[in-house]
Structure 1
Amino acid sequence: MLIVELAFTANSERLAGRPAHRALLQGLHEEGHLVAAGPWADDTGALLVFDVERGELDRLLEADPYYRTPGVEVLGVREWAPVVGRGQLATPAAPGPPHR
């Protein structure tokens, strides 16, 4: 999974582009490419969790003009390895004490 972190300013262009961006996000969620997305409670940025490979994420970010809108900055993209929930990593069980 990949995490995208955004930072926002109060630029009105960002607010004008938000409805179309959210419609695209809804479609990505319905297709299973987007696990979750939403702004920080103080509206200074957002976090998006994608279940795609990096090349596909780059294509998705390029296809949505919101990520290039004044007032929106992509702070970073990081690979995430959840251990609980959708997409969790399959890890072998830790060995227990020997049976007697």
Structure 2
Amino acid sequence: MTNFAILYTYSPTSEKIVETRPEHRAFIAGLHAEGKIVGSGPFTDGEGGALIIIQLPEGSNLVDAETLMNNDPFYAKDLLDRREIRTWNPVTKSF
């Protein structure tokens, strides 16, 4: 499997994020049911944003991860201030 870390940056006070969160969580739940989510959740430091770690079949690349994550309502509705997707190598896998 190839792992990707996705970092979302968004305002902790965004009403549109709050309104869209159920759709976002349904999207993440669907990926989890497909075995693609390693871990996912918001940061709790009051700064907003979230970290999502996905796993795709071996040989997948950044375009594959971007294509998948483009379907997240947070991204599709242009609610993120920033999205960063990076290939990630979990040397110590404790999830």
Same fold by TM-score, threshold 0.5 exceeded?
A: yes
TM-score, with length taken from structure 1: 0.74
Bigger-Rg structure (1/2) = 1
Q: Name stretches of at least 5 consecutive residues in structure 2 with no aligned partner.
A: none
Displacement of 1:83 in angstroms is 1.4
**Of residues 8, 11, 15 in structure 1, which corresponds to 2:10?**
8
Report if the CA contact (8 A) 2:66-2:85 is conserved: no
Displacement of 1:70 in angstroms is 5.2
| Percent identity over paired residues | 29
Q: What does residue 27 of structure 1 align with?
A: 30
For 2:24, the aligned partner's letter is H
Report if the CA contact (8 A) 2:39-2:54 is conserved: yes
Q: Name stretches of at least 5 consecutive residues in structure 1 with no aligned partner.
A: 87-100
Any runs of at least 4 consecutive aligned residues in structure 1 with deviations exceeding 6 A, and if so which? Answer: none
Question: In the comparison of the two structures, how many residue pairs are matched?
Answer: 87
Displacement of 1:69 in angstroms is 3.7
Q: What does residue 65 of structure 1 align with?
A: 73
- Report the RMSD for the aligned CA atoms in angstroms: 2.1
Secondary structure of the residue aligned to 2:81 is: strand
- Could you report, residue by residue, the CA deviation over 1:11-64 in whole angstroms, capped at 9, with x for unpaired residues? 211110000110110110121111110011124111000102223322222222
